[in-house]
Amino acid sequence: MRSVLAVLGLVLLPLSAFAQELLRADPPGWVESVAIPATDPALVAAARDGVFHPLVDTQTAWDGETRLTYFRLATEVIDRAGLESAATVSSDFDPTSEMLTLTRLEVRRGDAVISYRDTLASEIFRRETRLEAGIIDGTLTAHLQIPDLRVGDIVDTAFLHRSRPVLPEANRSATSRLEFSVPVGLTRHVALWPKGWALHVGALPDRVTHTAVPGGGHVRHEWRRSGHLPPPDESMTPVEHQPDAILRIGAWADWSPLAATLAPYYLADYPLPPDWEAKLDRIRAGHDGDLARATAALRLVQDEIRYVGIEVGTGGYFARPPEVVAMQGFGDCKDKVLLLRVLLSRLGIAAVPALADLDEGHALPGVPPALTAFNHMILRVDIGDARYWVDPTGSHEGGRLDIAPPPDYGHALPLTGPGQATLERIDVSATPGWQSDTTERFAFTFAGVFLTVETEYRGTFANARRYAWATRPHDEIGRGYLDFYAQTYPGIREAAPLAVEDDRDANLVRMKESYLIPAAALRANGLDRDFAFSAEDFGDYYPAYLSAPRRTPMTTGEPRRHSHTVRVFGAPISFNPPAAVKIENAAFAYSYSGTAPGPGRLTMEWRFETRDRVVPADAVAGVIGDARRIADSSGFTWDLAPEDAAERPAAN
């Protein structure tokens, strides 16, 4: 059984394992000490978790290509609930490229100042917080615990990070938040920017002030945000429209320096083990055409190379040799991308590794070029005039490259060489990712109602169903679907086990459910007088309401397309279907229609498809209102007791 620490994704090793102690010293002479602002009651009233931060101060300077970052944080304990977090002081650092120094650790209690910088014991741990995701990055954490902390105390802490560049010019940038999800009295960032470097600054709101004063060999830039009171959170805000002020500065005018540095390594040729050369021979013999062979190579890397990332030091930027990755059977995104590129090259297929960001890829065009803008690597496969984006770290994916949905990462930087100065957009509009087509057939008989549910999943929805079928007990999945229908039809039971067919080449997963609602259950549970036919409430994709006018746009997420059809046979009444419904707006298109082909028969059809990924703020209220209207037509109930048509009530 795994230990609790492993479950939490933490590896804690003692100090002796690293043969180093936390350095303690005064800050360098270029660091400016700023007074902690007076407490603002309005900000304190909006604080969370028993603490308030009157000061967040970041100062950056450069010694050649080495970046020095001074970070100071003042935390006031305003309630007993904040004692634990305020008393724990820690800072992460990478020992392969960083040196960490504690320059201040004080507790301010009224007029008294208690200094713990040189006296309080410290511990240095290795905390692999992403171990469960298969990533080992070697980050260390310096940890100190303040004794006898009390409500009303202010903990004033500062660390100095001295960071060597892992790539040429990689440290000619800096990033820091100037606004947070909690109130802050004063946030500022001071950068002593070398005069010989160009300066590019990402967009900032007007509430952030900026000053620039020339110095000796630098220009002193200061960005300041005072009295930040965070507005209420708004769900589904696109990453490129996040309202918080985040400072991003850099020396690169475009992405070419980064592409020029990494491209030679990722475009070079590398040997492969003999058994992998044999795998390539089987791909050549078993698949015709570049599309089929490229797909087979992608599935080979996805299925046979498990995901493990050893990203210590330069391992965070340079892949291991494909021969090593293939022999060991594991690798991270960079390792798998380089291996796949070499495989495709052997097959005569052009492919280019590309840097991407899993979280903020859609925001990359607004970010000053810097190495830290990316956290992932994918591959662009070029076949004829078409370009296909693939992620070799994917699991249980299906479909040939021309029908498989591309990864929805927004933008990426192909490493084609020094001439690659711009990002490329990953277009996902041609192949909706989350697709399903469901048909429910209700056959009324003397024994009860036989319900057959047939669903086809495509795109990323098929990938998700394939993964679930491979990793969860099949009986558990079947019980989950039965429980879903039992909420609407009490007494329902399984007539046949859940059946699944997987056409991976077409990325099509078919699922068939078979149930019986016994006649006795119809009467006992009142279903004969109140029987429902319904589809999913597709309006659930959106917020249920707006409590205030929307400030930010709203994202609809990855493209989705659904259809749901109900067919009824042999019912004891003749149906009068409700009127058709059609809703269209910037976010989605939705429709419902119903027909009664004959006595005892009913056909109902629902269609839903997303549209624009980003909905303007002033259109969000209308979209949410339309989404609520979907529920009004997503299901109807009927009294199934036979009676004269002239007296029969309409559907509910």
Examine the fold and report which residue of 425, 452, 484 is the final residue of a domain before the chain moves on: 425
List the single range of 14-18, 170-174, 316-320, 360-364 with lowest mean pLDDT. Answer: 14-18
Nearest to 617 by CA among 246, 363, 237: 237
For range 185-193, the mean pLDDT: 98
Whether residue 479 is contained in a domain is answered as: yes
Q: Let me know whether 401 and 480 are in one domain.
A: no
Q: Let me know whether 232 and 262 are in one domain.
A: no
Tens digits of residue pLDDT in 410-430: 999 999 999 999 999 999 987
Distance CA 321, CA 323 (A): 5
pLDDT, residue 644, reads 53
Residue 75 pLDDT greater than 70, yes or no = yes
pLDDT, residue 97, reads 87
pLDDT, residue 20, reads 59
pLDDT, residue 641, reads 84
pLDDT, residue 17, reads 39
For range 156-181, the mean pLDDT: 95
Do β-strands 350-356 and 411-414 pair in parallel, antiparallel, or remain unpaired? antiparallel
Residue 365: CB partners within 8 Å, gap ≥ 6?
Answer: 240, 411, 423
- Please count the helices (runs of H) and the strands (runs of E) in the chain: 12, 36
To the nearest whole number, what is the mean pLDDT of the chain? 91
The backbone region for 393, taken as left when phi is positive above 0, alpha when psi lies in -120 to 50, beta otherwise, is alpha
Cβ atoms within 10 Å of 211's Cβ, excluding its own: 10
Residue 57 pLDDT greater than 60, yes or no = yes
The residue ranking higher by pLDDT, 264 or 132, is 264
pLDDT, residue 646, reads 43
Count CA within 13 A, CB hemisphere, residue 412. 25
What H or E segment, with its residue span, contains residue 68? Answer: strand 66-77
495 within 8 A of 515, measured Cβ to Cβ: yes
pLDDT, residue 132, reads 53
Residue 13 pLDDT greater than 70, yes or no = no
Nearest to 229 by CA among 36, 38, 46, 40: 46
Tokens read off for 246: 């985040």
Distance CA 405, CA 416 (A): 23
Nearest to 439 by CA among 458, 456, 454, 450: 454
Whether residue 514 is contained in a domain is answered as: yes
Q: Let me know whether 49 and 87 are in one domain.
A: yes
Q: Let me know whether 239 and 305 are in one domain.
A: no
Residue 645 pLDDT greater than 80, yes or no = no
Do β-strands 309-310 and 135-136 pair in parallel, antiparallel, or remain unpaired? parallel
Task: Tell me what percent of the residues of the chain surpass a pLDDT of 90.
Answer: 87
Residue 294, domain extent: 258-425
pLDDT, residue 647, reads 43
Q: Let me know whether 399 and 473 are in one domain.
A: no
pLDDT, residue 5, reads 27
Tokens read off for 172: 């000619």
Cβ atoms within 10 Å of 396's Cβ, excluding its own: 19
Q: What distance, in Å, lies between the first and last C-alpha atoms of the chain? A: 54
Tens digits of residue pLDDT in 380-411: 999 999 999 999 999 999 999 999 999 999 99
pTM score of the predicted model = 0.90
Whether residue 1 is contained in a domain is answered as: no
DSSP per-residue string spanning 489-556? STT-EEEEEEEEEEETTTTEEEEEEEEEEEHHHHHHTTTTTSEEEE---GGGGS-S--SS---S-EE-
For range 437-451, the mean pLDDT: 97
Residue 185 pLDDT greater than 50, yes or no = yes
Q: Let me know whether 194 and 73 are in one domain.
A: yes
Q: Let me know whether 294 and 235 are in one domain.
A: no
Tell me the pLDDT band of 51, cut-offs 50, 70 and 90: very high
pLDDT, residue 136, reads 61
Examine the fold and report which residue of 192, 221, 244 is the final residue of a domain before the chain moves on: 244
Tens digits of residue pLDDT in 305-326: 999 876 655 667 899 999 999 9
Tell me the pLDDT band of 138, cut-offs 50, 70 and 90: low
Output the domain CATH number for residue 200: 2.60.40.3140
Whether residue 137 is contained in a domain is answered as: no
pLDDT, residue 109, reads 95
List the single range of 10-24, 387-401, 568-582 with lowest mean pLDDT. Answer: 10-24
Q: Let me know whether 158 and 73 are in one domain.
A: yes
pLDDT, residue 134, reads 53
Residue 61: CB partners within 8 Å, gap ≥ 6?
Answer: 28, 30, 67, 68, 191, 192, 218
Residue 118: CB partners within 8 Å, gap ≥ 6?
Answer: 24
Burial label for 38, CB within 10 Å (0-12, 13-18, 19+), is exposed
Estimate the share of the chain in helix, then strand, then coil, as percent rounded to the nearest 5.
25, 35, 40
Residue 584: CB partners within 8 Å, gap ≥ 6?
Answer: 590
Polymer length in residues for the chain: 652
Residue 152: CB partners within 8 Å, gap ≥ 6?
Answer: 76, 77, 78, 109, 110
Give exposure, 310-349, as e/b (b: 16+ Cβ within 10 Å): bbeeebbbbbbbbeebbeeebbbbbbbbbbbbbbbebbeb
Output the domain CATH number for residue 298: 3.10.620.30
pLDDT, residue 317, reads 85
For range 190-203, the mean pLDDT: 96
Whether residue 7 is contained in a domain is answered as: no
pLDDT, residue 312, reads 56
Q: Let me know whether 418 and 450 are in one domain.
A: no
Tokens read off for 36: 């902690």
Tens digits of residue pLDDT in 92-126: 888 888 999 999 999 999 999 999 999 999 998 76
Count CA within 13 A, CB hemisphere, residue 31. 19
Examine the fold and report which residue of 395, 425, 455 is the final residue of a domain before the chain moves on: 425
For range 637-642, the mean pLDDT: 89
Q: Let me know whether 489 and 608 are in one domain.
A: yes
Residue 576 pLDDT greater than 80, yes or no = yes
**Strand arrangement of the beta sheet that strand 173-177 belongs to:** 173-177, 246-250, 200-201
Identity of residue 469: W
Q: What 3-state class would DSSP assign to 27? A: coil
Q: Let me know whether 295 and 327 are in one domain.
A: yes
pLDDT, residue 199, reads 97
Tell me the pLDDT band of 431, cut-offs 50, 70 and 90: confident
Tens digits of residue pLDDT in 265-317: 999 999 999 999 999 999 999 999 999 999 999 999 999 999 987 665 566 78
In the chain, the number of structural domains is 3
Residue 249 pLDDT greater than 50, yes or no = yes
568 within 8 A of 600, measured Cβ to Cβ: yes
Q: Let me know whether 396 and 310 are in one domain.
A: yes
